Amino acid sequence: MTIGGHHNKLEELFNKSDVKLGDSVIVETNNATHIGILIPRYEYADDNHLVLKLKNGYNIGINLGKIKSIKKMIEKSDATNKSNIDYNYRDNFSYENMDQNLSQSQLPNLSLLSTGGTISSKIDYRTGGVMAALTAKELNDSIPELMKIANIDPEVILTEYSENIKPEHWSLIAKKIANNILSGKYEGIIVSHGTDTMHYTSAALSFALQNLPIPVVLVGAQRSSDRPSSDASLNLIGACTFATKSKFSGVFVAMHYSISDDVIACHIGTRVRKNHTSRRDAFHSIDVYPFSLIKKDQIKIPNQYTDLIFQERNKNFEDMIVRPNFENKVSLLKFYPGFDCRMFDYCIKLGHKAIILEGTGLGHINKECFSQIKNAIDNGILIFMTSQCIWGRIALTVYDTGRDLLNLGVIPLSNTTSETALVKAMWCLGNFNEEKDVIKTMTTNIANEFTNRIPVE
């Protein structure tokens, strides 16, 4: 007989100590004291270890033979310490008031939609690699802290690593989110997603779902959920905290703010980018501050977001706009020394409808390509310019190269990131038939893809 993945030996110890899965406990061993939360063991764990989630987010296995005692902790409110938290992020954030100590029946409802990725994966001990395995329910059950935040309805809609996500998947996710919102059951939507293309999906949802009545928060992990160093737990806790307690709606990405396991940053869906291959703080807001910082049950909101488009959460579902279609025939071309200008001819051959050019600096490309650019535009391809620089905005009026590109018909996109520009072009072409409407929409701020100058770190 097993309960919650623990076998008879541990069940006997749990019963003797009057503890159960999800309890905060103090575990005394022969040479150490551990404080954490009892969580289910994974199916490949042996029968002689219990799994404890420490306060820093790490999971450890403790050998049964070394356990002297397990005592249930009586948690005390740390509300008196709220004002002492130091986020070390200048002084540009102010606190929102949080509801605390809600009973289970009073907790808000969240929808957790799993699409795959590292956050929904675990180690495959046959190969030593990571494989997709955890369902949304398993992910939810493995983090007992979530039970104190919300009543969560988990559902798997995809099981894909993020490199396999396509525009048609964005449409599927957007439609599912819209249906769940219209059900009126939820205070927020969580989407677990692989990190490599999560910023593409967050941009896609930002355009496909406008005037959202509740927040939609994408969350991922740099390390799989069953690794001792996994960031999945804290990221998901932060995402759920924001989704239930922030007064704002929109599309956001919740990931580690630093390499430490204490603060989660919640980024604007169109202003975020993955900038590191493996660090926990791989995601950064570009040209803006993170929308909020989350530590435990507290949320800090920046004071300077007066020029950006946000609305407070509401129950007026009728104002929500759902335009979930995307056009695949869009290219993102990065210019580099030695760039083959025939790439523009190839885009014509493929029947592409738009090209996002990632130019140098302020938005430049070798003049040798000008004839191919003109030919592509003459063949009905819309060409938009972004910069390969991560921060800053393009300006095609500073140098003669930029002015020549403007005369050819290249359309500048200010400080829109290249990834967001690509997604927006796919969305515009998927939802608007007239070229003039596509150009007007591409150059209009829809979901904070354009921003004013804001000092950043």
User: What are the catalytic residues?
Assistant: 118, 195-196, 274
Residues 210, 215: Cα–Cα separation, whole Å: 11
Are the beta carbons of 123 and 226 closer than 8 angstroms? yes
Are the beta carbons of 330 and 353 closer than 8 angstroms? yes
- Whole-number CA gyration radius for the chain: 24
Residues 420, 29: Cα–Cα separation, whole Å: 52
Q: Which of 4, 86, 73 is nearest to 39 (CA)?
A: 4
Q: State the DSSP H helix or E strand holding residue 422, giving kind and residue range, or none if neither.
A: helix 418-431
Pairing of strands 264-268, 248-256: antiparallel
Pairing of strands 121-124, 129-132: antiparallel
Burial 264-295 (b: 16+ CB within 10 A, else e): bbbbbbbbbbbeeeeebbbbbbbbbbbbbbbb
Q: Determine how many CB atoms are found less than 10 A away from the CB of residue 392.
A: 14
Residue 16 CB contacts under 8 Å (≥ 6 apart), including other chains: none
Residues 303, 49: Cα–Cα separation, whole Å: 48
Three-state SS for 36?
strand
Residues 199, 215: Cα–Cα separation, whole Å: 16
Residues 385, 394: Cα–Cα separation, whole Å: 8
Residue 25 CB contacts under 8 Å (≥ 6 apart), including other chains: 17, 19, 35, 36, 37, 38, 52, 70, 71, 72, 73
Q: Determine how many CB atoms are found less than 10 A away from the CB of residue 297.
A: 17
DSSP letter, residue 69: E
Q: Determine how many CB atoms are found less than 10 A away from the CB of residue 409.
A: 14
